[in-house]
Amino acid sequence: MKNFTLLVFLLLVVIISNSQNVITVTDASLTDNAHWTADNIYLLDGFVFLEEGTLTIDAGTVIKGKETPTSGDNASALIITTGAKINAVGTADNPIIFTAESDDLTDPDDLDVTDRGLWGGVILLGKGKLGFNTETAQIEGIESTEPRAKFGGQDDDDDSGIMKYVSIRHGGAELSPGDEINGLTFGGVGSKTVIEHIEVIANDDDGYEWFGGKVNCKWLISAFNKDDGFDYDFGWRGNGQFWFLIQGTDKADNGGEHDGAKDDDRTPYSKPTIYNATYIGSGKTASGADLKNSTGILFRDNAAGMYANSIITDFANDALEVEDLAAGVDSRNQMETGELVLKNNIWFGFGAGSTWDDVIRPTQDGGDISFVKTHLETNQNTIAVDPMLRGISRTTDNGLDPRPKNESPAWSNLATYPSDAFFTNVNYKGAFGKENWAGKWTALAAMGIIGDINTAAVTLEKGSINLKQNYPNPFTEYTTIEYTLPVSSKTNLSIIDITGKVVKTVVDKNQLAGTYQENVSGLQKGIYFYQLVAGGKRVIKKMIVQ
């Protein structure tokens, strides 16, 4: 009888999943001012360009990329061209998800962080200034014969729209050997564009790449991507704050790869201002041919900029390289003239060693690193001082908790924040303080890698959370969910629909040990799951509304 019940349930899941409306979007079918809603799944078939107007995407909408397009393109991707805009505003409870065609969002275990390159990615193009040998350029990843892939101009205040609470998963399809698409690419994107709470996970190239422009970006996650976490070039001059990187142990390159311009002596050269980054590498002892450089941050090609109040830790090789050439412009000159500044950062846990002499990589064997060492010491950077993060994990044990412990040095010796209204003045170094802003809406949370715990971590033994079957079940108007906590814990009880979206948060607070009953109502007919997360453990059961 139990097996029969399970079979009936699985059949219902298949029927409901298959009945969900899937709308295939081709380049020809995407209209100006299109509106994508959460009751559909949108399947990108090939390169899809929005040439004019605004594409509006509602919170909770799922967009998938076809792995083998019928269009003849080498990948599926969404490209917002110069003059067009995107309006994609998700929420922490209902993020907008871009993912692969094969990704079953009702099963958090069907794809993992090594499943990369299953579709393309998202590309925003604007009219900002470029550090390039011509005023405009062709975005990488798209054929040079495609005129709509051009970007750049003279308008650094250009507006490409808004993206908030967007998760981009399993992208980076290879167009040709060594030529992949980044998870989220910015080409000449201007400062009126709003980019907040974005995740790029399991991409087969960089997580993010900026080519010129002045777009500002806040609350970014780059997780388990094959190449660099954050890459800028062509004279990007925006601001960044609260950036988080976690690298996998199988494939990774630099945490930050930062180039100035092409050619190197062009202006404007890259000079962003970045505060409160936490970059976690592949692990101090990680090794393998596909880890490449695995260096914390690399500055080259006349790159400038600023990193302040940040944490760079757990990289397999070196911490930092500042390019120093025998002749011509380079990033050493930018550092010595005050255009490249690294201040009040914590550097800790590198495979190359634990002193500045160990972890600063010279541009060439025997090259000079004394200027970098002097700069770091003068500007209150620390080496071999543990930032004391609560937990570093790359597996599905909810053990990743990048918040600093109460006794961490991340709570002291802070650089002063700029007067720019973009920046939030906080009392900690790194991307996280007391709050885990990455714990609800991300694939990291759905996969069980990062916990949604915003208080001190509490460890519960597996199976010690008692979540009962709701009663009545099935139900029409209301039902009761009962659960027992053996110890006090931050508790989240949520209702999830068949697409994996959170449709109702029943409980989200600290609770004492004990038994609790919660009444749930107001759900539309269908199959749902209710999920209890407490102390880093997760229990899920199903329920049916008739």
Query: pLDDT tens across 118-169, in order?
Result: 999 999 999 999 999 999 999 988 988 899 999 999 999 999 999 999 999 9
Section 94-111 average pLDDT? 93
Number of alpha carbons in the 13 Å side-chain half-sphere of residue 363: 16
pLDDT class of 20 with cuts at 50, 70, 90 = low
- Helix (H/G/I), strand (E/B), else coil: 168: strand
Which of 341, 232, 352 is closest to 281 using CA atoms?
Answer: 352
Q: What's the pLDDT score for residue 33?
A: 96
Number of alpha carbons in the 13 Å side-chain half-sphere of residue 316: 20
Section 234-257 average pLDDT? 98
Residue 514 has pLDDT above 90, yes or no: no
Pick the range with the lowest mean pLDDT from 113-117, 213-217, 480-484: 480-484
202 vs 538, which has greater pLDDT?
202
Q: What's the pLDDT score for residue 278?
A: 98
- Return the percentage of the chain with pLDDT > 70, whole number: 93
Question: What does the alpha-carbon distance between residue 93 and residue 122 come to, in Å, rounded to a whole number?
Answer: 22
Give Cα separations from 371 to 258, 270, 345, 381, 382 (angstroms).
19, 21, 17, 14, 16
Region(s) of the chain under CATH 2.60.40.1930: 466-545
Helix runs in 90-142, H state only: none
Q: How confident is the model over 180-198, as pLDDT tens digits?
A: 899 999 999 999 999 999 9
Which residues, including other chains, have CB under 8 Å from residue 132's CB and lie 6 or more apart? 152, 212, 234, 235, 261, 262, 266
Q: What's the pLDDT score for residue 534?
A: 84
Residue 40 has pLDDT above 80, yes or no: yes
Section 259-285 average pLDDT? 97
Torsion angle defined by CA atoms of residues 345, 348, 352 and 357, in that order, rounded to the nearest 10 degrees: 50
- Adjacent-strand bridge partners of 217: 195, 240
Q: What's the pLDDT score for residue 500?
A: 75
Q: What's the pLDDT score for residue 8?
A: 35
pLDDT class of 176 with cuts at 50, 70, 90 = low
Length of the chain: 546
Question: What does the alpha-carbon distance between residue 174 and residue 289 come to, in Å, rounded to a whole number?
Answer: 19
pLDDT class of 171 with cuts at 50, 70, 90 = very high
pLDDT class of 540 with cuts at 50, 70, 90 = confident
Helix runs in 308-419, H state only: 331-336, 356-359, 370-378
99 vs 540, which has greater pLDDT?
99
pLDDT class of 106 with cuts at 50, 70, 90 = confident
| Mean of all residue pLDDT scores within the chain | 91
Which of 300, 493, 283, 533 is closest to 392 using CA atoms?
Answer: 283
Section 277-284 average pLDDT? 98
> Looking at domain 2-446, does it have CATH number 1.20.120?
no
pLDDT class of 407 with cuts at 50, 70, 90 = very high
Backbone phi, then psi, for 115, in 5-degree steps? Answer: -85, 90
> Looking at domain 466-545, does it have CATH number 2.60.40.1930?
yes
Residue 456 has pLDDT above 50, yes or no: no
Q: What's the pLDDT score for residue 485?
A: 85
Q: What's the pLDDT score for residue 460?
A: 46
Give Cα separations from 242 to 58, 135, 219, 437 (angstroms).
25, 31, 5, 10
Section 367-375 average pLDDT? 96
Pick the range with the lowest mean pLDDT from 104-113, 293-302, 358-367, 462-471: 462-471
pTM exceeds cut of 0.85: no
Q: Give me the amino acid identity at 5.
A: T
pLDDT class of 9 with cuts at 50, 70, 90 = very low
Contact 71, 40 (CB under 8 A): no
Region(s) of the chain under CATH 2.160.20: 2-446
Q: What's the pLDDT score for residue 459?
A: 43
User: DSSP E strands: which ranges in 7-71?
Assistant: 21-25, 35-36, 40-44, 47-50, 54-57, 62-65
Q: What's the pLDDT score for residue 365?
A: 79
Residue 498 has pLDDT above 90, yes or no: no
Q: How confident is the model over 419-438, as pLDDT tens digits?
A: 999 999 999 999 999 999 99
